[in-house]
């Protein structure tokens, strides 16, 4: 055993890693006669702190599968790249006193070095970097195509605003109503001009596509909820002589409407506020200006009377209109009909402000007395209508149809479908992102940059500290209008970084193509991704946006499928010893290079696989590493101690059973079971006199 203790696994691993790189073992092309397999892990944001073993675990899951497919005779595309643009890199660079471009290059260089040390089977010739103009040129190209197809528009929208940063903040950057950077500054909700992509045009296709996906059920459920399709009725209420279409899924409760609630961020709110109520409404709105959108969703439901009334079309009754902090401005018309007796949120709101509660549905059970539910909570079940004129006694489900038809005959209602999904706001008042290829001209309005002028590159000379850095470079901003030749001004916002990751898997198919986004034949050969590996936290952002982009590229005729990754696997999280999340700043981190030097990276890979299934959360364990190290050394030691001769029947049977089981287990990513199989096999081998 003393001899085993001194085995230099790091040296052995380095030898083979160098050989793989020199001989380009993992580089692939489309000329192979082997069947293709495209395996992809979500590419990382290259932080300055580098990789820890939590990241290494994610890549190891994919690497094992890629090598498995290579051994099965597949032509395996297993690429790597870097999601290099974005706010975290910009902030980290500023903090370090470096330019984001220089900071990012250093970070990527460190990542590559670490990933090669882990011994991953990547085709490094296909490496991409989203901060490279040769990459984000195609972000801009897709944007122009969307603009051309009418999928880009601008409107004012409420956002979190820091007056000291002079920019928009994400919800995550607002802490207890204050700016994350300026803790003495209250964040305001401010309406500013925003650019949107019409992802809602694809809502039905995004839902329909789920049936073609082999994805975790929870992820599909989360996406369905995020998209939030609901069938209902749009009913016209008259307000100040104007018709307001109000969406509801419960037209059967219309006789119980006792108030309306309009979003506090509604563009037309000021038109509804009377002189008498102006001060009260302003006081209420002022209280909301220092609350982030996220915090507002969690707040106690509050409101204020606007002074205006709506006319209920079913009975002509006047009902008061309140401004509320719980109604979404861009869902439906931004106003809801409130039925306190049959909706718990409305019930609590009405109780708080002394609004009438009118029960119009009673349970079918004879014991359900009329007033039983209005005193303590709302009655939200279906039942029979009451106090609803000719509809009284009708089953509530039937009444939905009857009341909709009754109002539709008077041209006051129509069946409709609504979605919770909002159009994608992509403009960011930040430097380190893809420049938006638009020019603003006083004469021509918004003019797209001609394709021949792409990429619009980020200028290096900007000032950081206050406001949008791109607005500090007048030379970059001021350009000629491509349409009239007059004075123009570039769009100074940059794209949301989710844009960069919404199509990157296509670029791996043809990463060095300067003439087109990708060669159709190459994309047809490799796509779609056969196995996509990444965190479940991306269920409702990246994974929806990537599906949207894929569908759009199909509409452009570049591909003939709608889903970029029919099979998805979510890896679990590797925590530090004791269960704490790995973090360099907290000192709770295990570095791949330290593990490699001490045990060899293969030992670490085997240990991680042996802990639990790859989709489970696991904790690092030094003791467990030592156990895996003993096993690896035992296997290594067998090579010099065994006599070669004849296999026993028992060993042949065990070997074939192990091969069969591990084949099935790796295919379903049940790596832990495979480690048990290997331990049993080598235990039996060690007992043999000869093999």
Assigned token pair, 604: 């670490």
What are the φ and ψ backbone dihedral angles of 371, each rounded to 5 degrees? -95, 10
Report how far Cα 685 is from the mean position of its chain's Cα atoms: 48
Last residue of a domain, one of 554, 575, 596: 575
Assess if residue 538 is contained within a domain.
yes
The answer to which of 144-158, 443-457, 493-507, 610-624 has the lowest mean pLDDT is: 610-624
Reduced to 3 states, what is the DSSP secondary structure of residue 618?
strand
Assess if residue 48 is contained within a domain.
yes
Mean pLDDT score across all residues of the chain = 91
Assess if residue 50 is contained within a domain.
yes
Assess if residue 337 is contained within a domain.
yes
Q: Classify residue 24 as left (phi > 0), alpha (psi -120 to 50) or beta.
A: left
421-450 per-position pLDDT tens digit: 999 999 988 999 999 999 999 999 999 999
How many structural domains is the chain composed of? 2
The residues, ordered by sequence, that sit 6+ positions from 262 with a Cβ below 8 Å of its Cβ are 268, 269, 272, 306, 321, 322, 323, 324, 327, 334, 335
Higher pLDDT, 330 or 198: 198
- 506 shares a domain with 383: no
The angle subtended at Cα 457 by Cα 456 and Cα 462, nearest 5°, is: 125
16-32 per-position pLDDT tens digit: 999 999 999 999 999 99
Assess if residue 441 is contained within a domain.
no
Assess if residue 381 is contained within a domain.
yes
Mean pLDDT of 73-81: 98
- 268 shares a domain with 409: yes
Mean pLDDT of 89-111: 92
* Percentage of the chain lying above the pLDDT 90 cut: 70
Confidence of residue 333 (pLDDT cuts 50, 70, 90): confident
How many residues make up the chain in this entry?
691
Last residue of a domain, one of 551, 575, 599: 575
Q: How far from 360 is each of 34, 338, 349, CA to CA, in Å?
A: 68, 13, 18
Assigned token pair, 138: 């195609």
Return the CATH number at 368. 3.90.740.10
Assigned token pair, 2: 């003393």
Q: What is the pLDDT of residue 637?
A: 85
Report how far Cα 423 is from the mean position of its chain's Cα atoms: 14
- 406 shares a domain with 504: no
| Residue 616 · residue 575 · CB < 8 Å | no
List Cβ<8 Å contacts ≥24 apart for 243-248: 244/310, 244/333, 244/335, 245/332, 245/333, 246/332, 246/333, 246/335, 246/336, 246/337, 247/331, 247/332, 247/333, 247/336, 247/416, 247/418, 248/336, 248/337
Q: What gap in Å lies between CA 320 and CA 309, rounded to an integer?
A: 4
Instruction: Indicate the angle between helix axes 649-667 and 671-687, nearest 10 degrees.
Output: 170
162-190 per-position pLDDT tens digit: 877 767 776 656 777 787 667 788 888 78
Q: What is the pLDDT of residue 163?
A: 77
582-603 per-position pLDDT tens digit: 765 565 678 888 888 889 989 9
Higher pLDDT, 253 or 467: 253
Name the residue among 196, 236, 231 with its Cα closest to residue 499: 196
Q: Evaluate if pTM is beyond 0.85.
A: yes
- 119 shares a domain with 24: yes
The residues, ordered by sequence, that sit 6+ positions from 513 with a Cβ below 8 Å of its Cβ are 519
- 409 shares a domain with 296: yes
Confidence of residue 2 (pLDDT cuts 50, 70, 90): very low
| Residue 494 · residue 459 · CB < 8 Å | no
Q: What is the pLDDT of residue 8?
A: 86
Q: Residue 246 belongs to what domain range? A: 230-419
Q: What gap in Å lies between CA 444 and CA 13, rounded to an integer?
A: 62
Assess if residue 537 is contained within a domain.
yes
248-302 per-position pLDDT tens digit: 999 999 999 999 999 998 989 999 999 999 999 999 988 877 666 666 666 788 9
- 286 shares a domain with 397: yes
Assess if residue 550 is contained within a domain.
yes
Return the CATH number at 132. 3.40.50.620
- 246 shares a domain with 127: no
Location of structure tokens 């049977």: 653
112-128 per-position pLDDT tens digit: 999 999 999 999 999 99
- 404 shares a domain with 258: yes
Reduced to 3 states, what is the DSSP secondary structure of residue 39?
strand
- 239 shares a domain with 346: yes
- 513 shares a domain with 414: no
- 263 shares a domain with 132: no
Last residue of a domain, one of 555, 575, 595: 575
Mean pLDDT of 149-161: 89
What are the φ and ψ backbone dihedral angles of 512, each rounded to 5 degrees? -110, 15
Reduced to 3 states, what is the DSSP secondary structure of residue 500?
helix
- 245 shares a domain with 394: yes
Paired residues of 509 in beta bridges: none
| Residue 680 · residue 580 · CB < 8 Å | no
Q: Classify residue 167 as left (phi > 0), alpha (psi -120 to 50) or beta.
A: beta
């Amino acid at each position: 055993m003393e001899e085993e203790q001194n085995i230099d696994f790091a040296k052995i691993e380095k030898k083979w890693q160098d050989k793989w790189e020199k001989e380009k073992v993992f580089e692939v092309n489309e000329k192979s006669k082997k069947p293709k397999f495209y395996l992809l892990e979500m590419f990382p944001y290259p932080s300055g702190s580098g990789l820890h073993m939590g990241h290494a675990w994610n890549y190891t899951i994919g690497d094992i599968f890629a090598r498995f497919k290579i051994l099965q005779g597949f032509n395996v595309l297993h690429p790597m790249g870097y999601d290099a643009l974005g706010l975290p890199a910009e902030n980290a660079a500023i903090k370090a006193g470096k330019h984001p471009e220089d900071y990012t290059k250093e970070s990527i260089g460190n990542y590559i070095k670490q990933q090669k040390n882990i011994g991953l089977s990547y085709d490094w010739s296909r490496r991409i970097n989203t901060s490279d103009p040769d990459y984000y040129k195609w972000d801009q190209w897709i944007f122009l195509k969307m603009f051309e197809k009418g999928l880009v528009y601008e409107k004012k929208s409420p956002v979190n605003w820091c007056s000291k940063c002079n920019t928009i903040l994400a919800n995550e950057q607002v802490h207890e109503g204050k700016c994350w950077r300026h803790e003495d500054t209250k964040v305001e909700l401010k309406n500013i001009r925003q650019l949107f992509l019409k992802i809602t045009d694809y809502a039905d296709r995004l839902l329909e596509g789920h049936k073609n996906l082999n994805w975790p059920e929870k992820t599909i459920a989360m996406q369905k909820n995020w998209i939030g399709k609901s069938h209902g009725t749009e009913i016209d209420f008259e307000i100040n002589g104007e018709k307001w279409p109000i969406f509801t899924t419960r037209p059967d409760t219309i006789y119980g409407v006792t108030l309306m609630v309009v979003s506090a961020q509604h563009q037309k709110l000021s038109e509804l506020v009377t002189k008498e109520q102006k001060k009260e409404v302003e006081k209420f709105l002022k209280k909301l200006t220092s609350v982030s959108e996220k915090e507002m969703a969690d707040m106690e439901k509050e409101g204020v009377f606007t002074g205006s009334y709506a006319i209920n079309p079913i009975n002509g009754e006047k009902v008061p209109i309140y401004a509320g902090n719980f109604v979404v401005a861009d869902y439906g018309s931004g106003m809801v009909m409130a039925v306190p007796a049959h909706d718990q949120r409305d019930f609590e709101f009405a109780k708080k402000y002394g609004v009438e509660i009118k029960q119009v549905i009673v349970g079918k059970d004879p014991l359900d007395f009329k007033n039983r539910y209005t005193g303590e909570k709302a009655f939200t079940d279906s039942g029979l209508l009451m106090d609803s004129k000719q509809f009284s006694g009708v089953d509530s489900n039937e009444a939905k149809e009857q009341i909709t038809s009754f109002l539709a005959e008077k041209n006051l209602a129509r069946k409709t479908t609504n979605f919770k999904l909002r159009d994608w706001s992509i403009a960011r008042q930040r430097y380190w992102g893809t420049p938006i290829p638009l020019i603003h001209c006083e004469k021509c309005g918004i003019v797209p940059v001609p394709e021949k002028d792409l990429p619009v590159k980020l200028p290096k000379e900007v000032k950081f500290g206050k406001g949008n850095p791109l607005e500090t470079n007048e030379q970059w901003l001021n350009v000629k209008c491509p349409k009239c030749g007059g004075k123009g001004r570039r769009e100074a916002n940059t794209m949301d970084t989710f844009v960069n990751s919404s199509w990157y898997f296509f670029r791996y198919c043809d990463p060095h193509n300067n003439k087109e986004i990708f060669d159709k034949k190459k994309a047809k050969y490799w796509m779609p991704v056969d196995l996509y590996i990444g965190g479940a936290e991306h269920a409702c952002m990246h994974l929806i946006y990537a599906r949207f982009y894929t569908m759009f590229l199909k509409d452009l005729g570049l591909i003939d499928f709608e889903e970029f990754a029919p099979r998805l696997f979510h890896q679990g999280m590797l925590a530090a010893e004791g269960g704490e999340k790995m973090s360099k700043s907290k000192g709770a981190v295990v570095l791949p290079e330290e593990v490699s030097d001490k045990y060899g990276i293969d030992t670490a890979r085997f240990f991680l696989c042996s802990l639990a299934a790859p989709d489970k959360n696991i904790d690092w364990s030094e003791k467990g590493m030592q156990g895996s190290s003993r096993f690896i050394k035992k296997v290594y030691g067998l090579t010099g101690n065994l006599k070669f001769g004849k296999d026993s029947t028992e060993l042949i049977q065990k070997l074939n059973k192990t091969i069969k089981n591990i084949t099935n287990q790796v295919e379903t990513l049940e790596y832990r079971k495979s480690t048990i199989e290997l331990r049993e096999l080598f235990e039996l081998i060690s007992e043999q006199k000869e093999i």
